[in-house]
Each structure stands twice: as structure tokens, then as C-alpha cells.
Chains A and B, each alone.
Chain A
Amino acid sequence: MSAAAAASTAGYLARRAAQKERVRILYRRALKDTLNWAVHRHLFYRDASDLRERFEANKHVEDLDTIDRMIADAEASYNKWRHPDPYIVPWAPGGSKFTRNPTPPTGIEIIYDYGREDND
């Protein structure tokens, strides 16, 4: 397909936009994973800049199929390297405080009689 025709069709742009979104979400997850693996901040900065270099190296690829294949490979390697015990904010699903103290349902009233019998 010629570059001029392919460059401006709506389908091409939609596909590029979808790929860009996948790349952004992948970069976000990979960055969080890097932080999970490299707990100490100075190591994280080093690994994060390495990750950024890897993303930047493939920045100028134009062919849609190559981009798709690279994104699929990158997602596969991300799934391979996922941390088994990631840090999740406590109140979020998967965190330690999630549903720990749910709000009690309204309309329920507890009479605290401490097991007092009717005969007492």
C-alpha cells in the first residue's frame, strides 16, 4: 500500500491510535512492575531509564504489522516478568485493606444485651 494513501485514511489512524494506547498502557504496567522488582529508589531510576531507552529505540517504526508484532512480543515478555507480589495501594482490590471494614448495611440495629436471659 502506498504511503500517501495509507497515511491519512481513518482506518489507519484508528489503528495507530489503538496501538499508541496499547503502548502507553504497556509502558505504565512495565514501569509499575519495575518498581515492584527494584524496591530501592536508586535502582528503580536506573531500571526505569533502561526501560525508557528500550521504548524509545522502537519509536520510529512506521509499519503497522511490525508495530503490532512488537507490542505482542512486549506484552508477552511483560507477562513473563510480572512480580508475584506486587505493591497495590491498600484500599484497592488486591491490597491488604480491601473490604477489611465494609460499611455496615443501613437499617440494621443491634441490641447489645450481652446474652442476658429473660429470667434475669
Chain B
Amino acid sequence: MAMRAAILRYIRLPARAQTLAAPRSREWTLLGGSSASRSMSSHGDDHLTKEEVVERVLSVVKSFPKVDPATVTPDVHFQNDLGLDSLDTVEIVMALEEEFKLEIPDLEADKIDSCHLAIEYIHNHPMAS
């Protein structure tokens, strides 16, 4: 038993000795408050840039069969500018959900009426990928 304890004592890192001394905590706060505790997690680390979001949203809207690709800009309104139906808007929002792997609640999705709103919503969504 003493042999075992001796071996274990040798193998084990003396964790208790390494308390959170001042240099250690300073090191951690250098990473920033938000990533201090989960710096190795891959959860939500693929933040999209605005240009990426705009490009992908426009490509989804342009590939919609009832839309004329030349008239699509980042500020276009689905019903007023593109002449789409409200059901077409629903279909576009579903296509955007599938593209960015989002789950948009029904009431929020109902309010997305134009490209501008869609881009803003997706850009501000923490889980868009």
C-alpha cells in the first residue's frame, strides 16, 4: 500500500500546489473574459462575417425559381421589389434556415420580409453557421 501510494504520488501532478496564483490568473484574463473558461470548445466559433452572410443570402434568393436574379440586391424587399407572394416569403425564409442551419421561431420568421432584415437577423444570431 505504501509502495502504491509512493508510485501514485510520483505520477500524480501536485495539483494542490498549483493554486490560482497571481501569474496564472493574469495569463487567463489575457485571453479575454468570454473565452477564459471555454477556450478549447468548438461551440459557436464559426462566426460569420457580414460579407459572407450577404453573399450567401443573396445566392439563396437568386436561386429561387420565381425570382429574377438581376434585381436582387441586399436591400430588396421580397413582396414590394421582387413581386413575391407571402407564401413565397415563407419559402425563402425556410431556405435560409436550411442554408444557415438555424431554427427561427415562427413569430420571428413571420417578420422577416426583406433581404435587409434577413441579413441582420442571421448576422446577429449566435448559432448561424
Which chain A residues have a beta carbon within 8 Å of chain B's beta carbons? 20-21, 23-25, 27-29, 31-32, 52, 55-56, 88-89, 91-92, 95, 101, 103-104, 106, 109, 111-114, 116, 120
- Partner of B41 from the list A27, A101, A114 (CB cut-off 8 Å) is A101
Whether B16 and A116, one on each chain, are in contact in the complex, defined by CB atoms closer than 8 angstroms, is yes
Q: What are the nearest 5 A-B pairs in CB distance?
A: A92-B103, A89-B103, A112-B15, A25-B106, A28-B90
Q: Which residues of B contact A95 (CB under 8 A)?
A: 103
B105-125 near A? 1/0 per residue, CB < 8 Å: 011011000000000000000
B110 and A25 form a contact (CB under 8 A): yes
Taking the complex as formed, is B87 at the interface, i.e. its CB lies under 8 A from any CB of chain A?
A: yes
Would you call B106 and A29 a contact (CB within 8 A)? yes
Closest chain-B Cβ to A105's Cβ sits at a distance in Å of 10
A31 lies within 8 A of B12 (CB): no
Is B26 among interface residues, defined by CB-CB distance under 8 A? Answer: no
Please name all residues of chain A whose beta carbon is closer than 8 Å to the beta carbon of B9 when the two chains form the complex.
120
Q: Does B30 contact A (CB under 8 A)?
A: no
Residues of B53-96 contacting chain A, CB below 8 A: 86-87, 89-91, 93-94
Q: Which residues of B contact A (CB under 8 A)?
A: 5, 8-9, 12, 15-16, 20, 37-38, 41, 43, 86-87, 89-91, 93-94, 101-103, 106-107, 109-110, 127
Q: How many A-B pairs fall under 8 Å by CB?
A: 54
Chain A contact residues: over half helix, strand or loop, or mixed? Answer: loop
Known: A21-B110, A28-B94, A101-B43. 10 other contacts (CB 8 A): A24-B89, A24-B90, A27-B87, A28-B106, A28-B110, A31-B91, A31-B94, A89-B103, A114-B12, A120-B8
Most B CB atoms within 10 A — which of A29, A55, A89, A106? A89
Check if A104 sits within 8 Å of B37, measured CB to CB. Answer: yes
A52 to B107, CA, bound (A): 21
The CA-CA distance from A89 to B91 in the complex, in Å, is: 18
Chain B residues lying within 8 Å of A103, measured Cβ to Cβ, are: 37-38
A28-B94, A120-B9 known; A89-B87 Cβ under 8 A: no
Give, as a whole number of angstroms, the nearest-CB distance from B26 to chain A: 16
Which residues of chain B are near A24, meaning CB under 8 Å?
Answer: 86-87, 89-90, 110
The answer to whether A111 touches B86, judged by C-beta atoms less than 8 angstroms apart, is no
Bound together, the chains give a CA A116 to CA B14 distance in angstroms of 10
